Amino acid sequence: MTGRDTGRTVPVLPEVLSELVTSLPTTHLTAWIGVLRTLATPDERTEARLIAAHPGAGLGPRAALLLSSWTATDPQLPGPALALALQTASIRYEQDLATHHVEIAVSGPMSDAVPVRLTASVAIDVIRTAISTLLVTSYAAFGIREIVREIQAAADRGVSVDLVLETAHTSGGRLHGSTDGRTALHELRFHPDVRLWQWANDERHGPGGRRGSMHAKVIAADQSIVLIGSANLTDSAYSDNLEVGAIIRDNKAVSHLVDHFRALMHSGGGPLVRLPWTNHQ
């Protein structure tokens, strides 16, 4: 389906709104709804105002798509009416999510085959649901400024945060570069509710004699929702790479996963031990 004849194919407005509510974090949707409420009709400044309302990676193409679809479908449609439609679609989408136990998240190229959400959007939403505990594990961590801010906000509201990372030293040279995820997360180093963990160096030899890597990628809020997938905590994994993940809303399954990591953290001498914030080990 396309909008009015503008010399190019543009998805109709309902399709674009549906895509936006599945791919944008709630904060971005709220900011865009606020902007749209102030607009009479679309103009040359609309795209820039949407992007500036809540900056983030990958917003430009989506803002441009919304503007072109709005113009092509009905340029006289008032901004407040479009804001209401976007808000309604968002509420309905969240209600639908509440009835599902498993949902798919992706990074990289999108398709029209099935409705999926972007990894970055899901990661932010999962972190924001945390009330008491947050578990985050990753092999690599680079950039991810928005994720760091969300973890900081969770800790500031009293959430107990455990970060499990691979390190340049204990990876045995497998982790690229001389620094590791502690650099990306250094803003959290003084927060009393944020603890850093690593797989102990002398606990990594498996039955076959091979050295293991801390390769798990998990974001678990409390014991109710978890994002598990292939994406590391990196800007490339969240936007450029072809990655896939699953969001699981099942208290029993999520609690088993979280309890597994808790047991590894509190089993005496390992295998998971506290990690200093300096990059010397």
What is the gyration radius of the CA atoms in the chain, in angstroms? 21
pLDDT (0 to 100) of residue 24: 83
Q: Tell whether the model's pLDDT for residue 276 goes beyond 80.
A: yes
Q: Using omega within 30 degrees of 0 as the cis cutoff, is the peptide bond preceding 271 cis?
A: yes
Question: Average pLDDT for residues 208-212, to the nearest whole number?
Answer: 75
Measured CA to CA, the distance from residue 176 to residue 250 in angstroms comes to: 35
If you average pLDDT over each of 1-15, 59-73, 90-104, which comes out highest?
Answer: 59-73
pLDDT (0 to 100) of residue 11: 81
**188: helix, strand or coil:** helix
Question: Average pLDDT for residues 92-111, to the nearest whole number?
Answer: 82
**25: helix, strand or coil:** coil
Amino acid at 8: R
Of 201, 8, 19, 41, whose CA–CA distance to 112 is shortest? 19
CA atoms within 13 A on the CB side of 101: 5
Q: Which domains does the chain have, with CATH numbers?
A: 13-99 (no CATH), 117-274 (3.30.870.10)
pLDDT (0 to 100) of residue 22: 83
Q: Read off the pLDDT of residues 148-207 as tens digits, 9 standing for 90 and up.
A: 999 999 999 999 999 999 887 554 545 555 567 888 898 999 999 999 999 988 887 767
pLDDT (0 to 100) of residue 5: 42
pLDDT (0 to 100) of residue 4: 41
Percent of the chain with pLDDT over 90: 54
pLDDT (0 to 100) of residue 267: 74
Average pLDDT of the chain? Answer: 86
User: Sorting pLDDT into bands at 50, 70 and 90, what band is 6?
Assistant: very low
pLDDT (0 to 100) of residue 59: 80
> Side by side, which strands form the sheet with 218-221?
117-118, 102-107, 243-248, 225-229, 218-221, 133-138, 160-165, 194-199, 272-274
Q: Between 163 and 276, whose confidence is greater?
A: 163
pLDDT (0 to 100) of residue 150: 95
Q: Read off the pLDDT of residues 34-75 as tens digits, 9 standing for 90 and up.
A: 999 999 999 999 999 999 998 776 788 889 999 999 999 999
Whole-model pTM above 0.75? no
Question: Average pLDDT for residues 213-241, to the nearest whole number?
Answer: 93
User: Sorting pLDDT into bands at 50, 70 and 90, what band is 208?
Assistant: confident
Q: Between 10 and 163, whose confidence is greater?
A: 163
| Kind and range of the H or E run holding 136 | strand 133-138
Question: Average pLDDT for residues 134-143, to the nearest whole number?
Answer: 92
Would you list the DSSP string of 71-117? HHH-TTS-HHHHHHHHHHHHHHHHHHHHT-SEEEEEESS--SSS--E
